Structure 1
Amino acid sequence: MIRYKKYQVTGENSPLKGLWYARPVIEETFDIEKLAKHMSNHNTPYSSGVIKGVLTDMVSCTKELILDGKNVKMDDLAIFSVGIVSKKGASSAADFTLGNNVKGLKLRARATGELSNAQINLEGQLKESSMYTVEGSSSGNTPGGGSGSGSGEGGLEEDPLG
């Protein structure tokens, strides 16, 4: 179940100011160690230590391959690759330089196989989170979003991009 809360865009210059949107509530982040422990509880003969070692090596090798310009496809999860962030376009190939036209690199991850966006939309279920309040609401404990001030809401940081 994916819990969400409502939030209102409040940026003064935003064309979306005043509109309400949904944002997922992330309750916990699993690092490699927690993921290994979780996986070891799924009827596997491997200990969490063995699984952690394999996952750590997978991360290291994935980084190495991506930095070598290769894509890494993890079936039914994602294809990881490098992307280039542009500053601006050049008027001709001769005018193009890395310094003037490239801002940097970024990690890209595209869902694949059983984890496609279409499949997530079919299988995912949303439920409104019940542990937050709307600022300025007369009912005080009505589910809703904040103004982006980050005050109070269970230590969760406000991020309008989810």
Structure 2
Amino acid sequence: MIRYKKYQMTGEKSPLKGLWYARPLIEDTFDTERLAKHMANHNTPYSEGLIKGVLTDMISCTKELILDGKNVKLDDLAIFSVGIVSRKGAASAADFTLADNVKGLKLRARATGELSNAQINLEGQLKEAYKYNVDGSEPGSENKPGGDGGEEENPLG
């Protein structure tokens, strides 16, 4: 069950300002150690330590490959790759420079196999985390943009 909360866009220049959207409520984050412990509890013959070691090596190798311009596909999970964040377009190839036209790099993860967006839409279920008070009073800072500690993003994709 994926719990969500309602939030209102507030960006002054955003065409979405004042509109309400849903944001997933993330209640916990599993680091490598907790993931290894969770996996070890799934009737596996492998110890938590061995699983953690394999995961640690996988993470290290994934970083190395991505930074070398390769994609890394973890079947039925995601394809990890590097993306380029553009600052602005150049009028011609001759006018293009990294300093003027590229803002930076970002990590991309695209769902693949049985964890496709279509499959998540079929199997995922949403439940409101708490009722929003329509009279304007807020049950907590969770309703304010960024109340979950994350940065504001385009709710339309």
TMscore range, shorter length: 0.7 to 0.9
Structure 2, unpaired ranges of 5+: none
Partners of 2:14 and 2:84 in 1: how far apart?
27
Residue 79 of structure 1 is matched in structure 2 by: 79
Larger C-alpha radius of gyration, 1 or 2? 1
- Alpha-carbon offset, residue 160 of structure 1: 4.0
Structure 1, unpaired ranges of 5+: 151-155
Equivalent residue pairs, number: 153
Residue 70 of structure 1 is matched in structure 2 by: 70
Alignment of 1:132-147 (within 5 A): 134=133, 136-137=135-136, 146-147=143-144
Cα distance, 1:51–1:104 mapped onto 2, change above 3 Å: same
Worse-superposed segment, 77-86 or 51-60 = 77-86
The one-letter code matched in structure 2 to 1:71 is: N
TM-score if structure 1 supplies the norm length?
0.83
Q: Which runs of 4+ in 1 moved over 6 A?
A: none
TM-score if structure 2 supplies the norm length?
0.85
- Alpha-carbon offset, residue 98 of structure 1: 1.6
Alignment of 1:1-150 (within 5 A): 1-130=1-130, 134=133, 136-137=135-136, 146-148=143-145, 150=147
CA deviations over 1:92-131 (Å, ceiling 9, x no partner):
222222222222111111110000000000000011113x
Residue 157 of structure 1 is matched in structure 2 by: 149
Mapped contact 2:6–2:132 kept (Cα < 8 A): no
Residue 153 of structure 1 is matched in structure 2 by: none
Partner SS state of residue 3, structure 1: strand
The one-letter code matched in structure 1 to 2:143 is: G
- Alpha-carbon offset, residue 87 of structure 1: 1.6
Cα distance, 1:88–1:135 mapped onto 2, change above 3 Å: same
Partner SS state of residue 89, structure 1: coil
Partners of 1:158 and 1:64 in 2: how far apart?
27
